[in-house]
C-alpha cells in the first residue's frame, strides 16, 4: 500500500517563527502536493511538484515555499508564521499527473499559530 | 467559474439506513469526478474515480453515479455503519488539466447514529 507520512500530526508555533512541515512517500511517486484545509472552505492547493527540484504554485502560494531535494520528500515552509496560517495541512502524492491519476493523502498536520 | 457544490452540508442517519449525497459541478471541459472519505482528523481516502464515459462505479457499500449531461453526481451508501461517519468530498478534474487543477467541494458531513 502507498504510504504518505507527515512528520508532525500537531504543531503549535508562535507568530513569526519559521515552520517546516515534512512529507515522505514510499512509492516512488513523481508528484507531490501540499494542501490546506479550513472549515467551510474545502481543500486548497498551495504548491505541487512533478519532479525533484521542480515546483508549481497552486491557488494560494502566498506566505509559503516548498522544497523537493529528493523524490520521496516534499517540504512545506512557512518563513514567518502568522495566525491566519492556522490550519490543517495535507500532503498528497501520485504516480501520474494525468487527469485520472490517483491521489494518496497523508494523515495531515494540524498547525496552530499563536 | 469552475465550482463544485455538495449537498447537504451535513446529514444524520440511523445505523443500517441508506443515504445519498449529492454533488453538482460547473467544471468544463470535464474529465473525471472523484469521491473521497475523510474521517475526522485524518487525510482523505479515495472511494471512486469516474471518467466522462462512466455513469456508475461501486466500492463495497458505496456506489457513485455520474450524469455528465446534467453535471451531477451522487454517492449512495447502503446499509450504513457507524464507521461511515465521516466527511465525504466530491472532487472534479477538468479535461486536459492535471491533478494540479482539481476542484474540491466543501464536503458533506455524515453522522451515523446507533
pLDDT (tens digit per residue) in B66-113: 999 999 999 999 999 999 999 999 999 887 666 778 899 999 999 999
With CB atoms and an 8 Å threshold, state whether B43 touches A102.
Answer: no
Asked if the C-beta of A25 comes within 8 angstroms of chain B's C-beta atoms, the answer is: no
Q: What pLDDT, on the 0 to 100 scale, is given for residue B84? A: 98
Cα A70 to chain centroid, rounded: 15
DSSP string of B13-73, one letter each residue: EETT--EEEEEEE--SSEEEEEEEEE-TTS--EEEEEEETT--EEEETTEEEEEETTTTEE
A77/chain B closest Cα distance in angstroms? 19
DSSP string for residues in A28-90:
--SEEEEEEEETTTEEEEEEEESSTT--EE-S--TT-EEEEEETTEEEEEESS--GGG-EEEE
- Neighbouring-strand partners of residue B25: B4
Residues 6+ away with beta carbon under 8 Å from B97: A99, B31
Q: Which three cell numbers stand for residue A69?
A: 531535494
Pick the residue of B97, B100, B108 with the most A CBs within 10 A to test the interface with A by mutation: B100
The pLDDT tens digits of the residues spanning A13-55 come to 999 999 999 999 998 998 999 999 999 888 999 999 998 989 9
Cα distance between residue A37 and residue A87, in whole Å: 6
Residue B104 in contact with partner chain A when CB distance is under 8 A: yes
B42: nearest CB among A99, A102, A108: A108
Q: Please write the tens of the pLDDT for every residue from A99-108.
A: 677 899 999 9
Q: Does the CB of B53 have a partner CB in chain A at under 8 Å?
A: no
Amino acid at each position: 500500500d502507498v504510504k504518505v507520512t507527515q512528520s508532525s500530526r500537531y504543531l503549535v508555533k508562535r507568530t513569526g517563527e519559521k515552520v517546516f512541515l515534512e512529507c515522505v512517500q514510499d512509492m516512488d511517486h513523481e508528484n507531490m502536493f501540499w494542501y490546506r484545509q479550513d472549515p467551510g472552505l474545502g481543500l486548497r492547493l498551495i504548491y505541487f511538484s512533478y519532479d525533484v527540484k521542480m515546483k508549481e504554485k497552486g491557488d494560494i502560494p502566498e506566505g509559503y515555499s516548498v522544497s523537493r531535494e529528493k523524490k520521496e520528500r516534499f517540504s512545506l515552509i512557512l518563513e514567518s508564521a502568522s495566525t491566519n496560517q492556522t490550519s490543517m495541512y495535507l500532503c498528497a502524492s501520485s504516480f501520474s499527473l494525468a487527469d485520472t491519476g490517483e491521489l494518496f493523502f497523508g494523515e495531515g498536520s494540524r498547525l496552530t499559530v499563536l | 467559474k469552475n465550482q463544485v457544490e455538495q449537498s447537504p452540508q451535513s446529514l444524520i442517519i440511523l445505523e443500517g439506513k441508506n443515504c445519498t449525497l449529492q454533488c453538482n459541478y460547473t467544471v468544463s471541459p470535464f474529465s473525471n469526478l472523484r469521491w473521497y472519505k475523510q474521517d475526522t482528523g485524518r487525510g482523505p481516502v479515495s472511494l471512486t474515480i469516474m471518467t466522462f464515459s462512466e455513469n456508475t462505479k461501486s466500492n463495497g457499500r458505496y456506489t457513485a453515479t455520474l450524469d455528465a449531461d446534467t453535471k451531477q453526481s451522487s454517492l449512495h451508501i447502503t446499509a450504513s455503519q457507524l464507521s461511515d461517519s465521516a466527511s465525504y468530498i466530491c472532487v472534479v478534474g477538468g479535461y486536459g488539466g492535471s491533478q494540479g487543477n482539481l476542484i474540491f467541494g466543501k464536503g458533506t458531513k455524515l453522522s451515523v447514529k446507533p
